[in-house]
Copies of this chain bind each other. A is one copy, B any other.
């Protein structure tokens, strides 16, 4: 067998399962009312230097309201799990909140183009990166959710992505097959936007779950923002529909249209015009500074941002656009 290789990238978070167990032992499991404002939730659960993970996928079901609050409260030196981060990455870069990042997909907004501001931050060397892939990051979260310090996978092998990651090669003890061993990833805090949640944090996601089920389990703290808050009994009546159980949740924030300008499945489509406005504003640093000032620092609550973007009239348009994707509303 050839020699087993090792990636030279930095391991930002401790993959040790026993150390993580010590944290989880302290987590308060009791079902209690965890409703609070975004201001309170970010203030209480996201600290400078924390390693953050954002739910959803790029512009889809992202926790925009919470991400704005992270910027507004000027958090710094955050680490980040970057599995397909697009507009969410753009927001955090607008606040220059991130100092290190496990990168799978960053700086781009898919076919919409690249974020000039995010590129500037990275090309200037202000952000330490470790390379991964989308699957690798989602499997790293799964390893953490499973309480094991590593998991084998068949990706990254043979590439510079591997060489600049913190993965190492191992051999299967049964077949001799070579695998990339991926270290478990236990984020400090996850921000996840959902369709419905109860005050204790029982949450239901409709549509794609991306990596959020494992993310919620793997993270030391979990902040849920929800389009709608429902009574506990509504969630408990059909317990097989609970996507994220309250026992892993620390805070619940009511945030209607909380994913705007992203696409919330069955509820509203993405605002492509506004996303274009972001990208255009980033062309000129001065213009972008004013843009961020206006939309984030200059607002106190997320609904002020929604109003600046066209308010209810705009939201109803996006709602109609989503219904044209699927005529049937979700029940």
Contacts and interface: CB of A to CB of B under 8 A. Distances in A.
Give the secondary structure class of A's interface: loop
A302 interface: no
Given A16-B175, A168-B174, A237-B328, 8 more contacts: A148-B153, A149-B172, A150-B174, A151-B151, A168-B173, A172-B181, A173-B181, A206-B238
Contact of A175 (B15, B154, B205): B15
A-B pairs, top 5 by smallest CB distance, nearest first, are A149-B172, A168-B173, A149-B175, A174-B183, A148-B152
A154 B147 contact: yes
A1 interface: no
Given A17-B154, A173-B168, A148 B179 contact: yes
A177 B18 contact: yes
A324 interface: no
Nearest to A6: B173
A170 interface: yes
A207 interface: yes
A240 interface: yes
B152 A150 contact: yes
- The complex is assembled from copies of this chain, and their number is 2
Interface of A: 11, 15-18, 139, 146-154, 168, 170, 172-175, 177, 179, 181, 183, 205-209, 237-238, 240, 265, 328, 330
Nearest to A206: B240
Contacts of A170: 173
Contact of A15 (B168, B174, B238): B174
Contacts of A177: 16-18, 149
A3 B56 CA distance: 44
A152 B331 CA distance: 40
Given A205-B240, A328-B237, A154 B148 contact: yes
A238 B330 contact: yes
